Structure 1
Amino acid sequence: MSGKSRSSWTFAPCIRAALCCCALAPASVGAQERPIHVEPAPLAEALTALSRQTGIAIGFEGRLPGLRSRRVDGRMTVEQALARMLEGTGLEAQRLSPTAYRLVQAAPPASRRDPVRPAPPLPPEGSVDIIVTGTKREEPLARLPISVAIVQAPGEQGGALLPGTEEVAQRLDGLTLTNLGPGRNRQFIRGVADSPFNGNSQSTVAILINDARATYNAPDPDLKLVDVERVELLKGPQGSLYGTGTLGGVYHIVTRPPDAGSFAAMAGMGASLATHGEMGGSAEAMVNLPVVADRLALRAVAYAVREPGWIDTAGRGDANRGELRGGRVALRALAGDWTVDLNGMAQMRDVADSQYVYARHALERPAQPAEPHDNDFALMALRVAGKLGGADLVYAGNWVDHDVSSTLDASDLSASAFGIAPPALYLEQRRNRLFDQEVRLSQTRDDGLSWLAGLSFVDVRNHLSGVVRGCGMRRSGPAYRAWSNFRLSATCACR
């Protein structure tokens, strides 16, 4: 070949010997299947190994590029082995004789313009597979016959869905707050309201955390939504499913459950700056720990927030700053068709002062006593779910301890009502205890018929006391030990 071409050729060391005896090799050597095993290696070394195993000669015009070959292993022909070995190198093998091959640059694929295809139509709004559990059973959002609004987390892991109830209200149509401040607000849905002030009457909106009822007549605890899957807003009335206190609707928080299949962790920090105010910051962390693979898992969440103030009261700049601390621990056990969830959570909120002003667009107010507010919330919940025949059985029980204390400036009324010279303060303390249990049985059949039946028991105890203090004097108002509310109801619905 060298006499017919001015180009130089490079062969593997053993290829020359193979050429000398090529006349003795059978003419069909390239078409015979044989066991071939060549590990990934620089191309020159791989070709040498292939030549030793098959007795063929392989040449290349010039110097072999510094490429690596692919692994070749199995029973195949020489040409199949060369094609697999050269895949991705930009080279291909040309057969010169039954035992000789030449490597050349592979021809580029012919350019082909793909036909323009119209973009697929957008899926209809109801086709998104969102499962709602606020109706006491898992149902696709598109099939629900009631009005439901949802804020859903974008991913499987993450930090806060939204900072709190105020931000959720800005996203969901129909949910409004009284704007008294964090930890003091009452929720209203569709404008169904009794009073903007917190009193002894039962709220028109029920706040639920998973299957646990969180409030009865206390203000919204404004829980920070860390590691929360979604928030569901079921517009009322919802008395057939939740009993009294749901004339406006249900505010349902769904947390992420423990995952017994994989470990996960998250940590984050943030900073904020209030307009005409001060700096704030936050930190949060989550860990999901499988204790027994696919059987038992633990999930823990912790967070802390320093909320900036922006109201200046004479002598106190940014007076309405606040602090928030909280956490949640969940344990999940799996046994066949049965699931047991044990959840505990607590949150403490301290706000240094109120947030109202006396003039529109004002951020300052004259000298007055500070009006701090504390909202401490704790919950323990147990849920057991499984199959009973062809139906789904769920037991849900929870206990809530919710303490709320507020201080208000009572200087204008203290002299006439209590004979106390100003400045005077009214200190109000509320202690709410709620014990809720429920058992329900439901089924959704293949023919579309579904039914739900359940029994529930609720015990609520509320203690309210108020004290007026001023100028070394103290007057106690009547202390109210509120009712114990027992409710036993059975609900059965079919559709």
Structure 2
Amino acid sequence: MHRHADIIFVAAVAIAAAVPADAADRQMVSIAPGRLGEAVILLGRQTGSSIGISDQSLATLSTPAVNGRLTAEAALKRLLRGASASVQRIDANTWRIVRKAPLRPATKAAPAQTVPIAAPPPAEIVVTASKRDLPLPRYPGLVEVVDYNALPSGEAAAGTASLLSRVASLSSTHAGSGRNKLFLRAIADSAVAGPTQATTGQYLGDMRLNYAAPDPDLRLYDMQGVEVLEGPQGTLYGAGSLGGIIRMIPNPPNLARYGGNISAGVSAIRNGDPGGDLSATLNVPIAPERLALRLVGYGVREGGYIDDVRRGLDDVNRTATYGGRANLRFAPDENWTIDLGGVYQHIKGDDAQYADRTIGDLSRASSVAQPYSSDYALVNLRVERQWNDLRFISSTGYVRNILSESYDATQPDTPASLFRQRNRVSIFSTENRLVRDLDNGLGWIIGASYLESTSAITRSLTSYGAAPVLAQVIPGVPLYGGGLPATATGVRNSIREATMFGEASLELAAGLVVTAGGRLTNSRLSGQALDPIPLLSSAEIARAEAQADRNETIFLPSLSLLSDAVPGLTVYARFQQGFRPGGLAVDDQHVRRFSNDRISTLEAGFRKGLPGRDPIALSASFAYTDWRDIQADVIDRIGLPATANIGDGRIYTVEGRIAVRPLPALTLDGSIIYNDSRLHRPTPFVRALTLADQSLALPNVANLGGRLAIDYRRWISDDISMHLTGSARYVGTSRLGVGPVLGRNQGDYVDTAMTASVSRGPLQLSLTLTNLLDSEGNRFSLGTPFDLRGDYVTPLRPRTVRIGIDFAF
């Protein structure tokens, strides 16, 4: 219904009044695809303009991404391009968006007719993780794009867990925040965290977050969006992108406007501890249109819900996280952008997350506490230079990640013992690339990168007995008693990678694009035993380290064919490879080398429509993956994490998604993934753990997964909006590892969530419920690796309610 009174958005008006600006000046504008109502709020904040909408039904119109140094008028025109609305200028700093009038008949004699208002075209989604800013219809592969509207503060506080509930092909080991391993598209090696490289690459902007370490689980506050590209992605991202990559895109500093956001929430867990979260974002222009600083700080406390009956303690698995980000942007002119950023985050878990089903669904009996912690720091310099149709991007940074873990190592008839492991990871990386986006039938990228990464794992064993104990938990490692630690053998792995890569796309005919690329990598590997115990011979150590010190050169080709000749329909086929370098590991108190592994994937699929934009959007793909010399982190006979090549495998993957938009304000979304994985050529030591001719599924690969979601938005009045979301995700059955000991089942559960929020101008109130069904599903079947006899499970967090408030200024 037409409204005669303008809807003037409070946030935009307030900012404009607080800091007046000339709307004719060009400002840095960064707006993700979404709906017109949210877009004009952001545009008002970024340009200092007052923007009203004359008809509240226009607020639900889809809008494309708008980025660049623009005037408020130019940005509004881009937002409304092709839409059934136009912009009217009220004064130098005030604008009104109105519905376009229907066309009038050409002559008075003709009967009066009203021409129906055409539906707006679907907003363009740009896949920036492709490094060439490809529109989604022209990206040959599977990608999930989570925009900023889908990450309210409650989900931002949850970190990577919020992505698990949104991406059906993404899975985790659920060992605890900061120590989880993430897997995409069933490319999973194992459950425990050893010295091997991750199968899924993670990035903050253009900066690599991880290498030989688990997911750092950065909190997702103040994010512009998250892109998940299924792998392998070897051509553009190199080693460690076998399953794909996750790219988090933070909001950049705004060079023109002062502003920010504050959020707070409190949560309660059924039969558990309370929790809470607090965050603040501040954007400060230092020199208007030249220099600006953006700061983000946060703290999150997650209540515990596991009881330890042996020690008589309740809710032992509490977790606390605090951290922040800072980004300084300098734009000397419209062609240069220089960003200097930093990240710090600390995670402290009071105890392990697992329970023992023989005792209770949310209980266990441990002799000692098993705390863990993660210290993560990053600094990054990014420089971008823009020409007419060329872009040069240089990204250089350094990461330091220290993960400390502990496990109950108590054995029958021995005093309480604790095994500690600390993994110190450092990463230096730089990448420089020149890009021409696909235009006039030609697009390409060429670049070079260099990476140095070191992982140093140190170990110790502590007995709390009153005197030295003769029994041994780890051969060759004494139990001193009295809480004195004894050193166990550790390992250091280092790698230096120099790489050249390139990719080019050519439109052979209208709507037919072929893309070919390749990556040439030279890796220099070295390994070293740390604090070797006397039981190990010097000759054995020297022999293993000599094998680890080597040079490897590998070439990864890629090829894809895409057609979007039929409007709204994309059909593609692609071939891509990926790899991980080798290294050293300690296995049964022997220092041994593991070699590199390599993956090749053939994929074919299609996309029709855009989810949340078109009435119906469909996508599906089929992939065959060949995985050679699979690296896996395993548990040796002593109980220590180690890395070994377990053989060759193959994976068939089928994925499908349908998103239906029956009403402009309502979207129904469903997705499914089926995996058939086999370890068809296991190595001798794996065969020794299994029955003859037994077919083995790859560990941690669920055979079936799926997700159903609902999203509903509407305007209650001129300045009040409502947003409802709900989801249910099924995680199928998988096995912890290979062999009878690690072959226990896990998964086979449904996780549910619902969020309701009401916004009025800059203020938002929200209510979130997770695990609505209070399911007790098993997410991960490993407790302590020193006791593999127990029926250990990692349960879902019981039903949790959170009440939150957000305020933008």
Q: Do they superpose with TM above 0.5?
A: yes
- Match for residue 317 of structure 1? 314
1:340 partnered with 2:338: yes
Query: Does the 8 Å CA contact 2:367/2:410 hold for their aligned counterparts?
Result: no
User: Who is 2:457 aligned against?
Assistant: 464
Aligned residue among 238, 241, 248 for 1:246: 241
> Secondary structure of the equivalent of 2:439?
coil
What SS does structure 1 have at the residue aligned with 2:351? coil
- Relative distance call for 1:162 and 1:281 in structure 2 (3 A) is closer
Verify: 1:297 aligned to 2:260, yes or no: no
Instruction: Compare 427-436 and 133-142 and name the one that shifted more.
Output: 133-142
Match of 1:365 in 2: 364
Secondary structure of the 1:412 match is: coil
Q: Distance in 2 between matches of 1:211 and 1:312?
A: 42
TM-aligned CA distance change 1:170 to 1:222, over 3 Å:
same
Deviates more, 1:381-390 or 1:280-289: 381-390
Q: Partner of 1:180 in structure 2? A: 175
Could you say which residue in structure 2 is the equivalent of 1:395?
394
Counterpart residue number, 1:408: 407
C-alpha displacement of 1:163: 2.2
Correspondence list, 1:197-208, <5 A: 197-208=192-203
Q: Does residue 1:440 correspond to 2:440, yes or no?
A: no
What is residue 496 of structure 2 aligned with on the other side? Answer: 486
Corresponding residue number in structure 2 for 1:476: 487
State the Cα deviation string for residues 302-329 of structure 1 (Å, max 9, x = none).
0011110000112111000011110111
Pairing 1:146-225 to 2, within 5 Å after superposition = 146-154=141-149, 161=156, 163-225=158-220
Amino acid at match of 1:260: L
Q: CA separation of 1:157/1:384 partners in 2, compared to 1, >3 Å: closer, same or farther?
A: farther
Counterpart residue number, 1:22: none
Provide the TM-score with structure 2 as the length reference. 0.44
8 Å contact from structure 2 (residues 155, 162) kept in 1: no
CA contact (8 A) 1:160 1:228 kept: no
Q: Which has the higher contact order (CA 8 A, sep 6+)?
A: 2
Q: Secondary structure at the match of 1:454?
A: strand
Q: 1:356 aligns with which of 350, 354, 361?
A: 354
Rounded to whole Å, the distance in 2 between the matches of 1:224 and 1:263 is 23
| Identical residues among aligned pairs (%) | 34
Q: Contact 1:209/1:254 (CA < 8 Å) preserved in 2?
A: yes
Offset of residue 141 of structure 1: 2.2
Query: Which of the residues 387, 411, 417 maps onto 1:424?
Result: 417
Measured at CA, do residues 237 and 115 of structure 1 come closer, stay the same or move farther in structure 2, by a change above 3 Å? same
Code of the residue aligned with 1:285 in structure 2: it is A
Unpaired stretches in structure 1, ≥5 consecutive residues:
1-113, 416-420
TM-fit CA distance, 1:156: 11
Q: Which moved more, 1:173-182 or 1:442-451?
A: 442-451
CA separation in 2, counterparts of 1:177 and 1:244? Answer: 20
What residue is the counterpart of 2:679 in the other structure? none
Q: Secondary structure at the match of 2:254?
A: coil
- The CA distance in 1 between the partners of 2:194 and 2:387, in whole Å, is 42
- Conservation of the 8 A alpha-carbon contact between 1:295 and 1:335: yes
Considering fraction of residues, name the structure with more strand. 2
1:326 aligned partner: 323
Seen in structure 2, the aligned counterparts of structure 1 residues 202 and 251 have a Cα distance that, compared at 3 Å, is: same
Does 1:452 find its partner at 2:445?
yes
Q: Give the distance between the partners of 1:441 and 1:122, measured in 2 at CA.
A: 34
Shift in alpha-carbon separation, 1:155–1:385, aligned structure 2, 3 A:
same
CA contact (8 A) 2:327 2:340 kept: yes
Quick one: which amino acid aligns to residue 459 of structure 1? E
Structure 2, unmatched stretches of 5+, are 1-111, 466-480, 506-809
SS in 2 for 1:244: coil
Query: TM-score, normalized by length of structure 1?
Result: 0.72
* Equivalent position amino acid for 1:281 in 2: G
Confirm or deny that 1:382 pairs with 2:375: no
Closer/same/farther in 2, CA of residues 411 and 144 from structure 1, 3 Å limit: same
User: Would the aligned equivalents of 2:154 and 2:265 in 1 still touch at CA under 8 Å?
Assistant: no
Contact 1:158 1:266 in 2 (8 A): no
Counterpart mapping for 1:34-53 below 5 A: none
Shift in Å, 1:202: 0.9
Distance in 2 between residues matched to 1:193 and 1:181, nearest whole Å: 18
Tell me how far apart the structure 1 counterparts of residues 356 and 443 of structure 2 sit (CA, whole Å).
Answer: 55
Larger of the two Rg values belongs to structure: 1
- Greater displacement, 158-167 / 184-193: 158-167
2:277 and 2:342 mapped to 1: Cα distance? 22
**SS state at 1:404 partner:** strand
Contact 1:159 1:267 in 2 (8 A): no
Instruction: Provide, for residues 83-130 of structure 1, a one-character-per-residue CA deviation record: whole Å limited to 9, x for no partner.
Output: xxxxxxxxxxxxxxxxxxxxxxxxxxxxxxx9998785585xxx3222
The change in CA–CA distance for 1:149 and 1:316 in structure 2 (over 3 A counts) is same
d(CA) in 1 for partners of 2:341, 2:259? 18
The one-letter code sitting in structure 2 at the alignment partner of 1:494 is: A
Cα-Cα RMSD? 2.2
Give CA-to-partner distance per residue, 1:361-402, whole Å, 9 cap, x none.
701112431110101110000000003574211110110000
